[in-house]
């Protein structure tokens, strides 16, 4: 996985990671576990999975998620 190769190079101590993935079949799948293993020291929090073919029309879903996790003001 390309993201594992990227994240394994950094120290995430004290950081929070919110997995965001697009998918065809598996939803979040193993993403939380993969990020837990590759993001040393991070807290893995609520992720979001968007079906690939729905990504272009998912702004409301993404905004709602960002508000829920506290990264976007209401």
pTM: 0.86
DSSP string, 15-70: -EE--EEEESSSTTTTHHHHHHHHSTTPEE---EEEEGGGGGG-HHHHHHHHHHTT
pLDDT per position as a tens digit, 4-15? 889 999 999 999
CA distance 62 to 34: 22
pLDDT of 3: 85
Q: Is the pLDDT of residue 71 over 90?
A: yes
Q: Is the pLDDT of residue 1 over 80?
A: no
pLDDT per position as a tens digit, 31-65? 999 999 999 999 999 999 999 999 999 999 999 99
DSSP annotation of 49: E
Calculate mean pLDDT across residues 63-70.
Answer: 96
């Amino acid at each position: 996985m390309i993201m594992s190769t990227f994240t394994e190079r950094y120290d995430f101590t004290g950081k929070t990671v919110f997995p965001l993935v697009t998918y065809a079949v598996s939803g979040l799948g193993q993403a939380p576990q993969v990020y837990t293993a590759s993001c040393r020291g991070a807290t893995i929090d609520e992720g979001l999975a968007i079906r690939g073919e729905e990504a272009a029309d998912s702004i409301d879903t993404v905004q709602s998620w960002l508000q829920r996790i506290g990264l976007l003001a209401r």
